[in-house]
């Protein structure tokens, strides 16, 4: 960061303006004349020695006398930041510039405070903070030169993009009249379903495997291989060789699954593969039968509280989670024993809803602890009741001043066409109030061009953690801002599903998705 003031010699004659540069700890005097005019009479101070010091906002203005005798300095002229005249070096400095996976990131300092920052080519915009620091990100972004210019309107600087491969114009089409088939990944699951034989409750079966093969002609990236559905806790993935893996054309991986029924009766779940192939996610049904060990009596219907924090007969449904007032929260009640299907009822705190399926969702509106009963009823009419609590708190305060914040990240969401319309969306992580010193970050998600009926509620997750819902109107909608607390995104995946997890019909399908890249 630099500034300049005017220094003058020989009062009563032609004033010679000289350049003074502002350094972090002192001011230094440059002998060369820059201009020959001033608009106001300077204020003179005696110069008792070769170095003359004047306090300037807690620092010091130092003028070194090298030639002639310096008689005074205009100390009433305000500092002007940026490049003001002729030989002053560019004030704006780029400290980080990279382009990875279509994600542009440019950081630096020395810009005019609180000024719009423009990155060209592409006219990407950002804003400097009160200290002149800036962090600008954009996705998708490409560059034919791997070079960008950063400007605050007063100064500019150029930088090369690390990790960048220059983009080139599309090659001219081949003269052959026959179109070439495009390459794409494709998924096959073998077997197409898993069936486990009768298994005593509380005991574990031998593992069975599902093989995932890339039957296409382009690389297949598998985001995740997961077990969901009616009884997911009965089926455990003991060896997952697929999640996060990229398979070449013709290559395969496998996931091994065991069956340990929680209770007697028919048990089921769904194996779900989420990937970059058309038709994602791909699914395979899983089933098994739990049996009661010989000589034992089936235990009675009960509410499963293993994922809650319980003390003195009361279980906190938000224990271990960020439960902020007026912020989205969800959990699910499950039952053991008895005869499914189960129906749930109870009066939850203001702002929260308990659906008959056991799904809890909403945004609590009152701070402090609330206690409430919840009842489950099975297919035979048997019931079980438990006592639960919830303790919403105020969200954390923003990060203290002076700490480097995370800026704002945007993540473009995409997915396959539905009924001839291709849905799209944007996820934004606002980390301007979050830093290593504390604070919080906010997540926004909006969608458009979705070919689903008005009133459809979409389910939004961050790395499979639910963070909100979106109600469609005219194919578009936005999620209420979600306070992530002290959490900053980095390669975290956003997924928007086409329905709530307990909606009737086929299993949830991923509508659009994408990942934040730093």
| The two three-digit tokens of residue 192, written as one number | 């197409």
**Boundary (domain end) residue, out of 40, 73, 106:** 73
pTM: 0.56
Beta bridge partners of 117: 126
Residue 41 lies in a domain: yes
Q: Is residue 410 domain-shared with residue 327, that is, in the same domain?
A: no
Residue 85 lies in a domain: no
**Boundary (domain end) residue, out of 390, 414, 442:** 390
Q: Is residue 449 domain-shared with residue 347, that is, in the same domain?
A: no
Q: Residue 488: which of 412, 427, 430, 411 has the closest Cα? A: 430
CATH code of the domain in which 243 resides: 2.60.40.10
Residue 110 lies in a domain: yes
CA 357, 360, 363: angle at the middle one, nearest 5?
A: 150
Residue 35 lies in a domain: yes
For residues 59 and 470, give the distance between their C-alpha atoms in angstroms, rounded to a whole number: 54
Residue 174 lies in a domain: no
**Boundary (domain end) residue, out of 390, 423, 445:** 390
Question: How many structural domains does the chain have?
Answer: 5
Q: Is residue 271 domain-shared with residue 337, that is, in the same domain?
A: no
For residues 256 and 240, give the distance between their C-alpha atoms in angstroms, rounded to a whole number: 6
Residue 81 lies in a domain: no
CATH code of the domain in which 465 resides: 2.60.40
| β-bridge pairing 334-336 and 343-346 | unpaired
Q: Is residue 359 domain-shared with residue 447, that is, in the same domain?
A: no
Q: What is the DSSP string of 335-354?
A: EESS-S--EEEE-PPTTEEE
- Residue 234: phi and psi, rounded to 5, are -80, -20
Residue 510 lies in a domain: yes
Full pLDDT tens readout for the chain, 518 residues: 333 343 434 333 333 333 333 333 333 333 333 333 333 333 334 434 444 444 343 333 444 443 444 444 433 333 333 333 333 344 788 998 888 878 888 999 988 888 888 888 877 888 888 888 888 888 788 888 888 898 888 888 888 888 887 765 545 555 555 555 679 999 999 999 999 999 999 899 999 999 999 999 999 999 889 998 888 889 999 999 998 899 999 999 999 999 999 888 899 999 999 889 988 889 999 999 999 888 888 789 999 998 899 999 999 999 878 899 999 999 999 998 888 889 999 999 999 999 999 999 999 999 999 999 999 999 999 999 999 999 999 999 999 999 999 899 999 999 888 888 999 999 999 999 999 899 999 999 999 999 999 999 999 999 889 999 999 999 999 999 999 999 999 888 899 999 998 887 766 788 898 988 76
Residue 327 lies in a domain: yes
Q: Is residue 284 domain-shared with residue 245, that is, in the same domain?
A: yes
Q: Is residue 508 domain-shared with residue 427, that is, in the same domain?
A: yes
Q: Is residue 280 domain-shared with residue 207, that is, in the same domain?
A: yes
Q: Is residue 445 domain-shared with residue 509, that is, in the same domain?
A: yes
| The two three-digit tokens of residue 447, written as one number | 């969608």
Q: Is residue 195 domain-shared with residue 272, that is, in the same domain?
A: yes
Q: Is residue 498 domain-shared with residue 475, that is, in the same domain?
A: yes
Q: Is residue 216 domain-shared with residue 306, that is, in the same domain?
A: no
Range of the domain at 22: 6-73
Q: Is residue 442 domain-shared with residue 490, that is, in the same domain?
A: yes
Q: What is the DSSP string of 100-155?
A: ETTEEEEEEE-SPTT-EEEEETTTEEEE--TTS-EEEEESS---SSSEEEEE-SS-
């Amino acid at each position: 960061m630099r500034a300049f003031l005017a220094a003058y010699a020989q009062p009563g004659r032609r004033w010679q303006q000289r350049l003074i540069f502002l350094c972090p700890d002192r001011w230094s005097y440059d002998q060369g004349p820059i201009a020959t005019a001033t608009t106001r009479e300077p204020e003179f101070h005696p110069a008792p020695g070769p170095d003359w010091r004047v306090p300037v906002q807690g620092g010091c203005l130092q003028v070194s006398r090298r030639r002639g005798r310096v008689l005074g300095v205009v100390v009433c002229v305000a500092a002007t930041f940026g490049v003001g005249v002729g030989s002053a070096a560019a004030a704006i400095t780029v400290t980080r510039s990279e382009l990875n996976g279509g994600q542009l990131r440019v950081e630096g300092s020395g810009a005019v405070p609180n000024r719009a920052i423009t990155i060209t080519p592409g006219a990407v915009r950002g804003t400097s903070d009160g200290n002149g620091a800036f962090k600008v990100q954009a996705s998708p972004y490409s560059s034919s030169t791997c070079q960008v210019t950063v400007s605050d309107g007063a100064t500019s600087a150029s930088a090369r993009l690390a990790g960048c491969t220059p983009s080139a114009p599309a090659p001219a089409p081949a003269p052959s009249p026959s179109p070439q088939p495009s390459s794409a990944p494709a998924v096959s699951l073998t077997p197409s379903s898993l069936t486990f034989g009768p298994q005593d409750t509380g005991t574990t079966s031998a593992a069975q495997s599902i093989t995932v093969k890339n039957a296409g002609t382009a690389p297949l990236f598998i985001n995740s291989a997961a077990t969901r559905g009616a009884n997911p806790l009965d089926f455990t993935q003991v060896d997952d060789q697929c999640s996060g893996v990229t398979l070449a054309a013709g290559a395969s991986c496998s996931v091994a699954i065991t069956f340990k029924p929680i209770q007697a009766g028919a048990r089921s779940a769904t194996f779900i593969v989420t990937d970059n192939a058309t038709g994602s996610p791909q699914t395979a049904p899983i089933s098994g039968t739990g049996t009661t060990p010989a000589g034992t009596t089936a235990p009675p219907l009960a509410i499963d509280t293993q994922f809650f924090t319980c003390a003195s007969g009361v279980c906190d449904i938000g224990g271990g989670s960020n439960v902020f007032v007026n912020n989205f929260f969800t959990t699910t009640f499950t039952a053991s024993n008895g005869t499914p299907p189960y129906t749930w009822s109870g009066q939850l705190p203001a702002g929260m809803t308990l659906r008959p399926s056991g799904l809890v969702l909403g945004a609590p509106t009152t701070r402090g602890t609330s206690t409430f009963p919840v009842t489950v009823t099975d297919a035979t009419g048997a019931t079980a009741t438990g006592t639960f609590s919830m303790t919403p708190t105020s969200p954390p305060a923003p990060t203290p001043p002076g700490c480097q914040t995370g800026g704002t990240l945007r993540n473009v969401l995409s997915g396959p066409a539905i009924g001839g319309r291709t849905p799209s969306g944007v996820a934004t992580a606002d980390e301007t109030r979050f830093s290593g010193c504390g604070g919080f970050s906010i997540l926004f998600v909006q969608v458009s061009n979705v070919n689903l009926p008005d009133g459809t509620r979409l389910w939004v997750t961050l790395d499979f953690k639910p963070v909100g819902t979106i109600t469609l109107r005219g194919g578009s909608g936005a999620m209420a801002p979600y306070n992530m607390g002290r959490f900053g995104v980095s390669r975290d995946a956003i997924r928007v599903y086409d329905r709530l997890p307990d909606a009737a019909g086929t299993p949830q399908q991923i509508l659009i998705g994408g990942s934040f890249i730093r």
